[in-house]
Amino acid sequence: MRSSNKRSRNKNNRNRPNTVGNVVNRVFDSSGPEGKVRGTPQQIIDKYNQLARDAQLSNDRVNAENFQQHAEHYMRLLSEAQREQDARREQQEREQDARREQQERENRDRQAQRDADRPQRQDQDEPSQFSNDPADAPQPDVIDTSDDSNDSGLVETPEAKAEEKPKKPRAPRKPRKKPEPKAEEAQATPDAAE
């Protein structure tokens, strides 16, 4: 049994959306009285207009009219596509302008809100007795009761007291004792002396 894949491979069976860009730049195969004419709508219009002029020069009014009708068909197709394209462009421009205006309006609203909040923030910056942050509360004065004449303003720590004690000078090292000769070496030495 044969597969039904032939149908899906057919180029004419594809589902293509007919968009404006497709019509203006699309390549058409036009079957005219003189055979097929292939090209974009503008190229086909030019070709049929040339064929109509040639037919008029040879006094063939029927073919000249036929070529002009073919050219007119593609002119209508092209002009409608261009009109749709212009309408879409204008619509996009209007949408962009509306978006831009909306954005500007939002920016102005945000700026107005910031400006309205600014005086309140300045009031909050001033210290208040009712503030929740202890750092913002009024601080008491510190009274210095130390009697030290060389007070540096630092707190004494046990480490600092340990450094103040004078260190004892280190005792010089004792020289090493020479190792005593072993018994065998002691015997060898007197023999050598004799």
70-104 pLDDT per residue, tens: 999 999 999 999 999 999 999 999 999 999 999 99
Paired tokens of 168: 């004892």
Paired tokens of 39: 């090209």
The stretch 177-187 carries a mean pLDDT of 69
CA dist., res. 19 & res. 85, Å (int): 9
The stretch 19-29 carries a mean pLDDT of 73
Whole-prediction pTM: 0.42
194 falls in which pLDDT band (50, 70, 90)?
A: very low
pLDDT, tens only, 51-72: 999 999 999 999 999 999 999 9
Share of residues in the chain with pLDDT > 90 (%):
33
Provide CB contacts within 8 A for 65, sequence distance 6+.
52
Residue showing tokens 């203006």: 24
